[in-house]
DNA sequence: ACATAATCGAGACGGTACGTCCCGTCTTAAG
DNA sequence: CTTAAGACGGGACGTACCGTCTCGATTATGT
């Protein structure tokens, strides 16, 4: 993101970095991904546009940098069982994707969907953390003896994140239940799918 | 979508409708949702912009109309078992979401995420069809005696569509397998989850 | 300046042309050539920037079009003598170059001095009119018998316009006299130079 | 121009002064007044921008300092007659204004035309030298008895510099003759104007 | 010898304007 | 009333300069 070059000259002011990130997050929350503008971020942050474009190649990178910061996720503490671990992880993922995260992430994916390099960067930054959490949870289950095998990391990851994303985006308004109920049901179904012989 | 007013005067030219739809789809494939412009569609279609805005309320509606046409799905013929039915349905959904469907749908969702009315329209047009297919497949399983109960339509729908969407968008590049393998694994896991006691 | 293409489509709105020209002239008078901006012109005129860039290739062309309109010059009515004709013409030129004309013209010359094509266009539009006036005045003198020969159109033109421009730009603040006095002295000296054997 | 403060500390490096001046002149010749930038001068000179702003209050001063260095003129040696003196002086002035002098001077005048103080500084530095030369030439003529009276320093100055500036800027491309011919004609006409009874 | 102080190149800073692009609307003439 | 063409007001984009500032390093002078 930032240029690694920092030989001579005045160093970057970290207060500017924070001001950009904070302003971006505020405006994402207020106006959403579609409604954010670089000029508005600069004005809100009290900085010049050049300071933004010195750090990020464009609006997408700026938003990405601000958004992923809200989406940092860590493996949940061991809950004692696969079902409880999955429920905890699902709750974490759901929280990280909640407003304004999900639409922002979606807008980003849509915006960069024809830019393979940018897509890869987003994937690597955001998805890899989730993937590592999934791997940790499955490892624990294997160590407990709950699982002797599983269908692979990617399907489990997809079955965990995909339904949550879909529910938040589209099904929330259809469903009669709330997010907690959905997440619990999801963890339950996923546990069955993995532990069924 | 189209204006209901069409009393007297020259009737709309249906070739214009088709030209708009075809041009939109071509440009979606070439440039993606973020890269498409109304001017470009009009030029490619050899028509005027007014002809588009007479039919659609905006860019989003135009794209939506063109995109959902590729996404119409119907309940698959009875495959004899829940597992096979789920696999067939998953395959149909995966196909309907394949390029350029998924990023387009995402861009639309992101664009309209702050417009509740438009969001509802997209949801109702696109998701209801899927939901009906899921219901049909579950009904068949119930009639066969494979299922005595299930956790509700929405969770099953989410567990079917969500992982496919996520895999197409993000995990495809990580996974070693192909779409068919993933879809089969998904149907398998889902069957276990539903039929496990 | 304007594109000659005008086959189909909505025609240019002449009120927009006038609004641009008026706003440009007002802002030139208020802020000078260096202080004018395209955004300010658009705002003052109550139009979009695109309407300006549809007509002019850039700021320079816009300013030029507005400035030359103020600088139209015509041969003065026959004053009965070369001296009186020159005095009248000098007065006209001085008026056409007076604020904000002279600095504007200068800024333009400086701005485009490395663009031979633009320079030629300015020259042709502005200087040719003056040159024709000089020619007319010399012709009259020849018909009256005041002149049997003259050193050429260009030197006379230069001796008329050059001193006025220089005085307005630089010497006005040094000189004790006013513009009228200077113009009279100039016409007097020029008459002597031309009629001296 | 330069700050008078220079009590303690590291003294200014005169190589920096020369590098600035040379780079400014090179870039003026290449890109003209409108095309020159402070960053470009600094880069070309291999120095930092601060070194420029430590010496000059702004771009205009920097350019002015570099440009007038090419424009210093002195009274020509006595040529024995008013006509010859004027021709020699006209030639000197023409040379001092030749590329890139004239457009640069113009750009400066246009840029500072709303800044009375800067305008005065340019005028005093540049025009006063010319004015002194004109005075010297007229004095010689008076001492020779060629002139008993003249219309004042300012008109003569305007009639000498103005036509040359105008010719260089605008008429050069129209005229069939060259600068030498024009300068000779100018000196001739000016002599007639001054010596005619 | 060593602190003081102004210099140096490099480059980030807040601003401002540029010229381009697109949106959704409006205005033509032709059919 | 629809059509193709295209101008309209509005507004965001990303770039380029301006003149200021901050960094670490250098280079003289005054003690």
Q: Is A57 on the interface with B (CB under 8 A)?
A: no
pLDDT above 80: residue D189: yes
For residues C93 and C130, the answer to whether their CB atoms sit within 8 Å is: yes
* Per-residue pLDDT tens digits for C75-129: 999 999 999 999 999 999 998 888 667 778 888 887 877 777 777 877 777 788 8
Q: How far apart are CA B131 and CA B153, in angstroms?
A: 7
* Predicted local confidence at residue C13, as pLDDT: 96
Q: How far apart are CA C17 and CA B196, in angstroms?
A: 76
Query: And the tokens for A16?
Result: 């500017």
For residues D165 and C109, the answer to whether their CB atoms sit within 8 Å is: no
* Predicted local confidence at residue A152, as pLDDT: 92
pLDDT above 80: residue D36: yes
For residues B166 and A165, the answer to whether their CB atoms sit within 8 Å is: yes
Strand E proximity: list residues 3-32 of C with CB under 7 Å: 8-11
For residues A122 and B173, the answer to whether their CB atoms sit within 8 Å is: no
Higher pLDDT, A161 or A1: A161
The residues near A70 (Cβ < 8 Å, ≥ 6 apart) are: A25, A96, A101
What does the pLDDT average to over A31-52?
Answer: 95
For residues D137 and D75, the answer to whether their CB atoms sit within 8 Å is: yes
- Length of chain B as a residue count: 197
pLDDT above 80: residue D1: no
pLDDT above 60: residue D116: yes
Low-confidence ranges of chain B (pLDDT < 70): 1-8, 99-100
Q: Inter-chain contact C162–D162, Cβ cutoff 8 Å?
A: yes
For residues B6 and B12, the answer to whether their CB atoms sit within 8 Å is: yes
Q: How confident is the model at residue D139 (pLDDT cuts 50, 70, 90)?
A: very high
Q: Where are the beta strands (DSSP E) in chain B?
A: none
Question: How many Cβ atoms are within 10 Å of A37's Cβ, its own excluded?
Answer: 11
Mean pLDDT lowest among A33-37, C104-108, D135-139 = C104-108
DSSP state of D71: G
Mean pLDDT of chain D: 89
pLDDT above 60: residue A86: yes
DSSP state of C177: S
* Predicted local confidence at residue A120, as pLDDT: 80
Set of chain D residues whose Cβ sits within 8 Å of the Cβ of C104: 110
Q: Is D155 on the interface with C (CB under 8 A)?
A: yes
User: Measured between CA atoms, how close is C54 to chain D, in angstroms?
Assistant: 24
Q: Which fold has domain D72-195?
A: Tetracycline Repressor; domain 2 (1.10.357)
* Predicted local confidence at residue C101, as pLDDT: 73
Q: Which helix (DSSP H) or strand (DSSP E) does residue C70 occupy? A: none
User: Measured between CA atoms, how close is D14 to chain C, in angstroms?
Assistant: 31
Query: And the tokens for D143?
Result: 């001492």
Query: And the tokens for B98?
Result: 């394949």
* Predicted local confidence at residue D7, as pLDDT: 65
Q: How far apart are CA B182 and CA B174, in angstroms?
A: 12
* Predicted local confidence at residue B73, as pLDDT: 85
Low-confidence ranges of chain C (pLDDT < 50): 1-4
* Predicted local confidence at residue A4, as pLDDT: 47
* Predicted local confidence at residue A100, as pLDDT: 67
Let me know if domain C14-59 sits in CATH 2.60.40.10: no
Q: Per-residue DSSP letters for C99-120?
A: TTHHHHHHHHHHHHTT-HHHHH
Q: List the domain boundaries for chain A.
A: 14-68, 71-195
Just give the CATH number of A71-195: 1.10.357.10
What does the pLDDT average to over A166-179?
Answer: 85
* Predicted local confidence at residue B8, as pLDDT: 64
Just give the CATH number of B14-67: 1.10.10.60
Set of chain A residues whose Cβ sits within 8 Å of the Cβ of B177: 152, 154
Q: How many helices (H) and strands (E) does chain B have?
A: 10, 0
Could you give the angle at the alpha carbon of A53 between the alpha carbons of A48 and A58, nearest 5°? Answer: 130
Place of tokens 């069955």: A192
Please confirm whether the linkage preceding D100 is cis (ω < 30° from 0). yes
* Predicted local confidence at residue A1, as pLDDT: 43
The highest-level CATH class for domain D14-68 is mainly alpha
pLDDT above 60: residue A9: yes
Dihedral (C-alpha) C34, C38, C41, C46: value to the nearest 10 degrees? -170
Query: And the tokens for D105?
Result: 């001077």
Q: Which residue of chain B comes nearest to A179, CA vs CA?
A: B155
Q: Which residue of chain D comes nearest to C121, CA vs CA?
A: D170
Q: How confident is the model at residue A78 (pLDDT cuts 50, 70, 90)?
A: very high
Strand E proximity: list residues 34-53 of D with CB under 7 Å: 43, 45-51
Just give the CATH number of B70-195: 1.10.357.10
Strand E proximity: list residues 7-26 of A with CB under 7 Å: 7-13, 16, 19
For residues A137 and A89, the answer to whether their CB atoms sit within 8 Å is: yes
Query: And the tokens for A78?
Result: 């061991």
* Per-residue pLDDT tens digits for D149-178: 999 999 999 999 999 999 988 888 888 889
Q: Inter-chain contact A113–B32, Cβ cutoff 8 Å?
A: yes
DSSP state of D70: G
Q: How far apart are CA D50 and CA D64, in angstroms?
A: 18
């Amino acid at each position: 993101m930032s240029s690694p070059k920092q030989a001579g000259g005045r160093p970057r002011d970290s207060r500017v970095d924070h001001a950009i990130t904070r302003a971006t997050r505020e405006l994402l929350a207020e106006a959403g991904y579609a409604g954010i503008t670089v000029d508005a971020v600069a004005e809100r942050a009290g900085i010049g546009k050049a300071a933004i474009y010195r750090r990020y190649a464009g609006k997408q990178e700026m938003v990405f940098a601000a958004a992923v910061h809200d989406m940092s996720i860590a493996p949940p503490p061991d809950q004692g069982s696969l079902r409880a671990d999955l429920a905890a992880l699902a709750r974490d993922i759901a929280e990280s994707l909640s407003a304004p995260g999900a639409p922002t992430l979606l807008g980003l994916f849509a915006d960069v969907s024809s830019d393979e390099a940018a897509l890869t960067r987003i994937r690597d930054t955001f998805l890899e953390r989730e993937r590592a959490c999934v791997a940790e949870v499955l490892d624990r289950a294997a160590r407990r003896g709950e699982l002797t095998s599983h269908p692979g990391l990617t399907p489990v990851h997809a079955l965990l994140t995909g339904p949550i994303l879909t529910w938040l985006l589209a099904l929330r308004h259809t469903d009669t239940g709330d997010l907690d109920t959905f997440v619990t049901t999801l963890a339950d179904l996923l546990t069955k799918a993995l532990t069924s012989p």
